Amino acid sequence: MATELVRYGVPVRIIDKAPHRTDKSKALVLWSRTLELLDRGGGAAPFIDAGYKALAVNFIASDKSVGRVSMETIQSPYPYALMLPQSETERLLEERLRGLGVVVERQVELTTFKARGDGVDAVLKHSDGKEESISSDWLLGCDGAHSAVRHGLAAPFAGETMNCDWMLADVHMKGYPCPDSEATVYWHRDGVFVIFPISPGRYRLLADIPASGAPLPPTPTLEQVQAMIDRRGPSGTKVSDPIWLAGFRVNGRKVANYRWGRVFLAGDAAHVHSPAGGQGMNTGMQDAFNLSWKLAMVVRKTSSERLLDSYSPERSAVGDEVLHAAGRLTTIGTLRNPVAQTLRNLVGHVMLGFSTVQHAFADTMSETAIHYSSSPLNGPALKGARPSPGERVVPVEGQTPVGSGNTPLFALFADKNADTLNLVNTFGSILDPDIRPSVRASGIWLVRPDGYVACSSSDPITVADYLRALG
Ligand SMILES: Cc1cc2nc3c(=O)[nH]c(=O)nc-3n(C[C@H](O)[C@H](O)[C@H](O)COP(=O)(O)OP(=O)(O)OC[C@H]3O[C@@H](n4cnc5c(N)ncnc54)[C@H](O)[C@@H]3O)c2cc1C
């Protein structure tokens, strides 16, 4: 959120009560859509250089293959799951921010705040115990699952905690029978067991275990991890040199509203869910990509504040979908009834045999399927022509991504002619002068700074009306 706002010229203070960024691998995957959006703000290359490409997911039950989903069919310049420990993602984001001249203020905690009609008054506590009162125009609560901002708003965090514990192991392992570029989900009769590659020889292992009833989920020992892999995973595999062993519980919770006047919620502060599919951090980052260009346009006075009303409906709908999809995947993997397990394995085998199902699965996981089809921001659509308003325009390798640079600009995908050049001249403060090749002859596609279609038409007046209405 901070890197996007700062590059668009919005001054920020970013505070964190923690003394340093995480040193844990936590969210392990950067998905295609997140990489596309990162590419707009300084390039996806540093993340790709630091990460490891996973190209497929295998599903196995009773030692037999149920199916395999390849990521290589994803329509994106990044058709893979980029395995990158969260500690590295945070490091690279912090470096990007530092390059923009902003340093994260650590050991500074937001304790209370009060929202006004035109801003927010807050109290910050520093590490020496000193309190500081500040006033700002906006408050963005990106403060995680236990969000002080969400508590301060008394925003309900509706949902539930799953009745089981999970073990997580970030370990070295020998004997993994699949290519190191592939993840594997084992549907065992005791529960699910998942192996993700992190880098050659290093893996993330996950398994559900019966609820311990203890206040905190137990941390597994390396011996317990080995016993788990011997029972549910591939035979002949040996784990060693643990980097991180942890227990956790799965919550599925979400706020209904992401915007409360001058206060916004994003990331885990707004939604938490099962790690199935590795969507948590990616969805949170995409909340930030969605809000930042809108807020920047409002702060720069190139749009009215009404633009911000679209943030909550757009991102809350995505949050609902991610919550349902992650919940469904978790339920399917943790079925206990043997009849239901047999049925799951049979249906899974049949379904994953269809390439359309494989593609749909990969598109959903990679978050390239995300769209804002019901957004209040959607304008008119050119009949029968895709992408429709709210849908993503697939970035083209080698083409400057829409939304790059230091000004939040819409872009035209259209034929270069007197009409479209006139649009660019008339709306220079919000329209990229670089007109990209048209999606279809004699059609004009107006695309938002986050790469989703705003409207499409064959009539330049329709596009002009849309742009004028933003002001
Ligand atoms: C064990 C585990 C495994 C996970 N695995 C995955 C995975 O495989 N894939 C995936 O996508 N996600 C995974 N996640 C989830 C992922 O880590 C989160 O979705 C992600 O970190 C959320 O980012 P965030 O910035 O919203 O919140 P956080 O990362 O929680 O960051 C919030 C920040 O706010 C700070 N803060 C909190 N309160 C205050 C305050 N009052 N004042 C100032 N600062 C404050 C905190 O110190 C923290 O630095 C996992 C999480 C855990 C714990």
Range 64-87 average pLDDT: 96
Domain that holds residue 171: 160-252
Give the residue whose CA is nearest to atom 3 of ligand 1.
26
Same domain, 22 and 50: yes
Q: For the chain, what percent of residues have pLDDT higher than 70?
A: 100
What confidence category does residue 468 fall into, taking pLDDT thresholds of 50, 70 and 90? very high
User: Does the structure show a pLDDT above 90 at 286?
Assistant: yes
Kindly report the CATH number assigned to the domain that includes residue 454.
Answer: 3.40.30
Kindly report the CATH number assigned to the domain that includes residue 23.
Answer: 3.50.50.60
The pair of structure tokens assigned to 162 is: 């799953």
pLDDT digits (tens, 9 = 90+) for 169-200: 999 999 999 998 999 999 999 999 999 999 99
Same domain, 129 and 171: no
Q: Within a domain: residue 273? A: yes
CA nearest neighbour of 289 among 377, 445, 453, 408: 408
With the most atoms of ligand 1 within 8 angstroms of its CB, the residue from 83, 89, 281 to mutate is 281
Same domain, 388 and 271: no
Same domain, 146 and 184: no
Instruction: Go through the chain and tell me how many residues it has.
Output: 471
With the most atoms of ligand 1 within 8 angstroms of its CB, the residue from 26, 165, 274, 367 to mutate is 26
pLDDT for the residue 327: 86
> What is the Å distance from ligand 1's center to 245 Cα?
17
Q: Within a domain: residue 208? A: yes
Name the residue type at position 415. D
Give the residue whose CA is nearest to atom 4 of ligand 1.
26
- Measuring from each residue's beta carbon to the nearest atom of ligand 1, which residues come in under 6 Å? 15-18, 26-29, 86, 109-110, 142-144, 148, 168, 246, 248, 267-269, 275, 278-282, 284
Q: What angle do CA 93, 97, 101 make, to 5 degrees?
A: 165
CA nearest neighbour of 285 among 370, 363, 360: 370
What confidence category does residue 274 fall into, taking pLDDT thresholds of 50, 70 and 90? confident
For the chain, the domain total comes to 3
Q: What is the position in ligand 1's atom list of the atom closest to the CA of 277?
A: 9
Q: What is the position in ligand 1's atom list of the atom closest to the CA of 143?
A: 34
Same domain, 174 and 130: no
Q: Within a domain: residue 289? A: yes
Same domain, 91 and 144: yes
Q: What is the pTM of this model?
A: 0.95
Range 330-346 average pLDDT: 90
> What is the Å distance from ligand 1's center to 444 Cα?
40
Q: Within a domain: residue 362? A: no
Q: Within a domain: residue 453? A: yes
Q: Within a domain: residue 426? A: yes
Same domain, 145 and 22: yes
Same domain, 291 and 142: yes
pLDDT digits (tens, 9 = 90+) for 238-262: 999 999 999 999 889 999 999 999 9
Same domain, 122 and 244: no
pLDDT for the residue 471: 86
Same domain, 171 and 264: no
With the most atoms of ligand 1 within 8 angstroms of its CB, the residue from 12, 15, 16, 83 to mutate is 16
pLDDT for the residue 108: 98
Pairing between β-strand 158-174 and β-strand 202-210 as defined by DSSP bridges? antiparallel
Give the residue whose CA is nearest to atom 37 of ligand 1.
143
Calpha distance 254→319 (Å, rounded)? 7
User: Does the structure show a pLDDT above 90 at 331?
Assistant: no
User: Does the structure show a pLDDT above 90 at 164?
Assistant: no
